[in-house]
Amino acid sequence: MDLGLRQKNVLITGGSKGIGLACARLFLEEGARVAIVSRSQANLDAAKKTLKDSYCIGCDLTDPAAAAAMTQRVEKEFGALDVLVNSAGAARRTDAEELTPAAWRAGMEAKYFTYIHAIDPVIKRMAARGRGVIVNVIGSGGKRPTPTHLAGGAANAALMLASAGLANAYAAKGVRVVGLNPGVTNTERVAEGMKAEAKRSGISEEEAMKRAMQRLPLGRFAEPEEIAAIVVFAASERGRYLTGANISVDGAATPSVV
């Protein structure tokens, strides 16, 4: 199946590891041109070894001015963007009893605003050109609260609303926006979550992992490549009528008709 992505310019925030890196690999396989963003130069250097001919740029997306400058530089040096995939930023896992106003704010800064700072300059440029796709990899924590992920979950919920609202606002200007909510996925981030859950429950990390898998109908975590496949389809010409949706990709862990 030709997804119509050949020679499309794709920018992936958080593209140096996890789901973002899996997305970068798959877009490249489809013939797209890929640029990745990370605030960690070490992660960028490691990713560069496996992503042939990719464009890598360092940026701290918690800084709106830095994000705007990054967008300007990418479009000048790499080319006008056809696709933006947001997969950067994650709120620190904090037990509910340890939350403070500062922790809540940090959760929004780490996840919500890293996405918004990337989206704002890109979506306006896309609208001016009359075309573009933004796929936000958000997370199921915005639909199902857990005691160790309330601040991050609140940021995820806000991102779901922003995705749906921006899709509606920019549809007539040729820009699509899709939210994707992965469930538990086999990444470093989830490994950190297992540590937090193990500490909270007074069990080993292995037991926390076992319990987490037992709660999943498919009996296993998703692999980053499985999430990436859906991201790439959503961004492709085959998904051109898909916009304004927040899609759960959690292996039926949260059965719902909404």
> pLDDT tens, 116-154?
999 999 999 999 999 999 999 999 888 888 888 899 999
Q: Is residue 256 part of a domain?
A: no
Asked, for residue 197, whether it belongs to a domain, the answer is: no
- Alpha-carbon dihedral sign for residues 202, 207, 208, 214: negative
**How many structural domains is the chain composed of?**
1
pLDDT at 159: 97
Cα angle 55, 56, 59 (rounded to 5 degrees) comes to 140
Q: Does any domain span residue 257?
A: no
> 117 near 67, Cβ under 8 Å?
yes
Residue 129 domain-assigned? yes
Q: Kindly state whether residue 210 falls inside one of the protein's structural domains.
A: no
CATH of the domain at 125: 3.40.50.720
Summarised one tens digit per residue, pLDDT across range 40-82 is 999 999 999 989 889 999 999 999 999 999 999 999 999 999 9
The rounded percent of the chain whose pLDDT value lies above 90 is: 71
* Domain extent at residue 67: 9-186+222-249
